[in-house]
Each structure stands twice: as structure tokens, then as C-alpha cells.
Structure 1
Amino acid sequence: MRDVADREIRPRFRALKDGDITAKSGPNDLVTVADVEAERVLTPLLAAIEDIPVVGEEATEQDPTLPEVLGTAQAAWTVDPVDGTWNFAHGSVEYAVMVARVQDGAAQAGWILHPETGDLLHGATDAPATVRTAAGDVRAVASVADAPARPLSQLRGMMTLTFAPGPVAECLAGMTEDVAEITPPRMCAGWDYWDVLSGHLDFVMYFRAKPWDHAPGAAILRAAGFAVRHLDGAEYRPGDPGRPFLAARAQEWDALAEAIRARAGDAL
């Protein structure tokens, strides 16, 4: 991931030329030559590590059925070559490279690289959450599994209401009365998940659950003791995408989910 970022992404950072940026589904949904080239290089490298299907964001643009393999294959990779493309295209360091390994439809392991800081986040079902620096130093992320629960009024979170249905967004705008703060999204899930791991946020809620955006973060957060579930309590699975989900400390998850359901009601 570092190699590909150094060869295909970072040299283009703040150096994109005319024609290097195009829109996909809308003016805010961008793709750059860095996205395309990074995924082109990462895909065979991952397949060489383990010969399982690779579900990439850009490949899915060409074959929208590709993510279906996450629910049928025993194992698969997901790749987001440049998460936060809008940020990258506008010169913000808040972009990421993200890879996950999905096992039997569930996020088994995740890696999130912040190319401009050099930090690589990792976590898995059989490995604790860690941060590896560009220099190779590794530090453990303290687990929150045994942390005491706090009242909602003390919690800070982020909710991607931009992608919520209109009635739901209107209802959940009132969550600012239940919690300490709702912060705006960074436009990069790879940095949102870091905000949770580092303690700057206590929870995140997403409405657009594309697997390459969230399988890595879900695996890493769970390795650090967080719960990542749909509002009905079912575990988030990238092999079963499309529904909104909430990530928070397990000891606060139920209270948060109840408050969200109370606000949104039948609009969810």
C-alpha cells in the first residue's frame, strides 16, 4: 500500500492536470487518474498475496455486479485506492488508501493508510488494532472494551446525513439535543475511523455503506473493542451492503441506537 501510494498517488497530489479529474455519478463524486492507476496496480498485488476475488471501487464502476461476490465467496479483498477523492483532488491531506479482507461476508481484517502522514492503521479478528508509522514504529491502540459507559450527553459523533433520505435527515438533525456534538464528516471514511480510534469521536453513523469504504474501518474498530452494527442490532457485513449502520463503543451502542430510532421512527 505504501509502495503504490508513493508511486501512483503522492506524485499526483496537488499536481493533477486538466483531464486528470472526472465526475462519476455527480459533480461531487470524482475519480482521478490516481484512483484508476492505484487500483490497477494494487489489484494484482493483492491477488498475489492470496488468490481470491478483488472488489475495487473503480472496477465496480465497470461491473456493478462485482460486489455481489462479497456475499458468496468464501473470502475476498476490497480496495478503495483513494478514499476521499474530493479531498485529494482539492489538495487536502485527508485522503486514504484502504484495503480489507472479507471472510464469509464479514470484515475479517482491515488496513487504512494515510499517505501524507505515513500512518497505517490495522486490525483483524485475530489481531489487535495498531498504528504503524512511516518509520516502521508500531503502537497498539488501547481497547475500549472495558471502558465505562458514558451518558449520551457526553458523546461526540459524526453522521453522514447528506446520504440519508430527506425525512430521516430532518429527524436526525435533532440528535444535537441528545449528544454533546455532531461534527461534519471529513468526506473520507478513512479519516473518520481514525477520529474514533484516536478518541476525537465516540461514534460514527453512515447511510451510504459501500463495502470498500467501510469494511476496513469496521474490522479495525472491532479489533479495538467497538461495536459496528445496523440499527436492528445485526452486525455490519460488507457482504450485505446498503443499510445504515452505527459504530460506537459496545457499552454505549444500545443507548445511541435507541435514541436514533426514537428520533427517526418510521422514517428509517
Structure 2
Amino acid sequence: MLDQVTELVREVAQTVVLPRFRRLSDDEVRQKAPGDLVTIADQESERALTSGLTALLPGSVVVGEEAVAADPSVRDRVGHDGAVWIVDPVDGTNNFAAGKTPFCVMVALVRDGEPAAAWILDVVADSLTVAEAGSGAFRDGVRVKTRGDDPGADQLHGVISHKYLPGELRDRVRANAAGLGGFSAGKHCAGYEYPAIATDEQQFGMFWRILPWDHVPGSLIVREAGGVVRHLDGAEYRPVDHQRGLLVAANEEIWHTVHGTLFPDGPPAIDPL
């Protein structure tokens, strides 16, 4: 199954997504929400992945980003019994539409509400990161592990995706983040940020808006590489979660170091959705 999905993801990336890169006409890009674009490549990629994945696993269902945009109730399928595919047909659409990299194709298989496997393909780099629950994480066929030590807050580098953070919390987090070794707003592509933690290119990531197609594939990869993926209150992240706020770290100690640096007075109060 891993190899078959890998072949499908690569095929869709090469035949549907990449041919549209830097070749989109104005009528092939639209705004589905303020600052949130969708392109013809997103739509065609999701259709191809949906058809291919359900053929590989009869009886399975798909939760795709564009299907949820058209019908929000589709997201409720994530928690269904049985096999559920979670699909981000083009992760980093704004980059893709602007003719920039990175952008990825991401797929996760969820069984009975828990991640079972994940695939993230960096389309232009043609670099594939995969994970299977209990079997580890691999990048281009080589097993990857997060770093095992905690060098201290001033040596840790990562991403704080503050685009959707409420204003007061954003200001507080950015001020406290001065105690870390370095941070950026990221590359606007979760498919880049998660593997970067799994391979120690960076040691942490903080995100506010939590959508399953953005975070389920990467969360399994980071955990299988030895990392930690939790909400800001310390609860383990699960595919069915709607709660805002997520802190990803290379290991348990780094999670607590980054969390304590960003939130010295304890986790922020978060209104339920």
C-alpha cells in the first residue's frame, strides 16, 4: 500500500500539479476566503487523488481540502470508523499561485480516527517523506530521526506561524520568542515545516489554525521520527481535533523548553470553536 500510494502521489504531482506551475492564467486562480487561494491544479489534483485512493482501498472515504471548502460537513468524516484518506492536493497554494516554492502534495491514511500512514511530496524538489505508524519515518528512502538532545532555548530555531494568531497573543508570543535562538514566519507550507523538524533543519514549529489536511500527515511523520505534537495545553494532537493552537517539537525536552519560553505564565486561554 505504501508503494502504491507513493506512485499515485508522484504521478498526480508530475502530470497534474507541476505542468501548471508558473503557467496559471488569471481565470485559473480564485480566492475562496480572504488571503486563501485555490487554483485549477488544487481542484484537478484532488479529483485525481480521490479517484486513485478510493480505488486502492475500496470502501474508504476521502476528506480533501477542496471538498471541505465546498461542503464543510465532509470534515466530519475524519472521525468515522474504518479507513479515511486526508488529502491536501497542493499544500502551499499561495506559493504555487505566485510561482514560488515550496509547495507539496500531502496524503494521510487514518484508520478508526488514528493516523496510520502519511506521504509528503515536495513537488519541485521531488523529495518524498513518508511514515507508517510504528515503523518510523523516511525521507527519500533514508530513515530520519529528530535530534535527541535539548541544547537550550537560545540554540533552538523554528517557525512561529502567526498569520492567524489573535493580535494580543501574537504580540506576546513574538516578544517572548526573543528568548529562542531564532524563528521565522515559515515558508507558508506545512509540508515543508514538518519534515524540517523531522530532519533537524529546525527544532520546533507553532501553528494556530489547525486543519487536518495541513497537520495530520506531518504530525505522524514527526512523531515517527521521535518528535512531539501537542496542543498548547499539552494535550496530544489527534486528527479529529478542532482546537486552535499546536506546538511541534523535535523531542519532549525541546517541547517544554519552547513552550516555557513562549508561555512563561502557562498556556493561553483559548475560546472553544
Q: Structure 2 length normalisation: TM-score?
A: 0.90
Is the 1:175–1:260 Cα contact (8 Å) retained in structure 2?
Answer: yes
Q: Any stretches of 5+ residues in structure 1 without a counterpart?
A: 133-137
Aligned position for 2:44: 37
One-letter code aligned to 2:185: P
State whether structure 2 residue 106 is matched by structure 1 residue 104.
no
Aligned counterpart, 1:221: 222
Offset at 1:206?
0.7
Partner of 2:63: 55
For 1:102, what is the secondary structure of its paired residue? strand
1:54-93 pair list within 5 angstroms: 54-93=62-101
Whole-angstrom CA distance in 2 between matches of 1:10 and 1:222:
29
Measure how far apart 1:266 and its partner are: 4.4
Asked whether the 8 Å contact 2:158–2:203 carries over to 1, the reply is yes
What residue is the counterpart of 2:200 in the other structure?
Answer: 199
- 1:30 corresponds to which letter in structure 2? L
CA 1:21–1:263 in 2, change beyond 3 Å: closer, same or farther? farther
Using a 3 Å threshold, how does the CA distance of structure 1 residues 176 and 143 change in structure 2: closer, same or farther? closer
Output one character per residue of 1:167-219: Cα deviation in whole Å (capped at 9) or x when no partner: 11011011332201111210111111122123221100110111001100001
- Where structure 2 has 5 or more consecutive residues not aligned to the other structure, the ranges are 1-8
Q: Letter of the 1:255 partner, please give it.
A: T
Q: CA deviation at 1:67?
A: 1.1
1:4-36 Cα offsets, whole Å, 9 max, x none, are 11111111111111201000111x210000000
Q: Which amino acid in 2 is paired with 1:161?
A: H
d(CA) in 2 for partners of 1:66 and 1:244?
A: 22
Q: Does 1:10 align with 2:13?
A: no
Distance in 2, matches of 1:196 and 1:141, equals: 10
RMSD: 1.6
Residue in structure 1 matching 2:259, options 240, 257, 260: 257
Q: Determine the structure 2 residue equivalent to 1:140.
A: 143
TM-aligned CA deviation for residue 143 of structure 1: 4.6
Corresponding residue for residue 239 of structure 1: 240
Residue by residue over 1:102-144, the C-alpha shift from the partner in whole angstroms, topping out at 9 and shown as x without a partner, is 2332333211001111111001212211112xxxxx2111353
Could you say which residue in structure 2 is the equivalent of 1:135? none
**In structure 2, what residue type is equivalent to 1:102?**
V
Q: Distance in 1 between matches of 2:266 and 2:170?
A: 8
The structure-2 alpha-carbon separation of the partners of 1:157 and 1:263, relative to structure 1 and needing over 3 Å to count, comes to farther
After superposing on structure 2, the runs of 4+ consecutive aligned residues of structure 1 that deviate more than 4 Å are 263-268
- The corresponding residue for 1:126 is 134
Q: What aligned pairs does 1:17-36 form with structure 2 within 5 A after superposition?
A: 17-26=25-34, 28-36=35-43
Distance in 2, Cα, partners of 1:18 & 1:78:
28
- How many residues matched? 260
What amino acid sits opposite 1:243 in the alignment?
R
Q: 2:100 and 2:265 mapped to 1: Cα distance?
A: 34
For residues 246 and 185 of structure 2, the distance between their equivalents in structure 1, rounded to whole angstroms, comes to: 17
Question: Larger RCO: Structure 1 or Structure 2 (Cα < 8 Å, ≥ 6 residues apart)?
Answer: 1
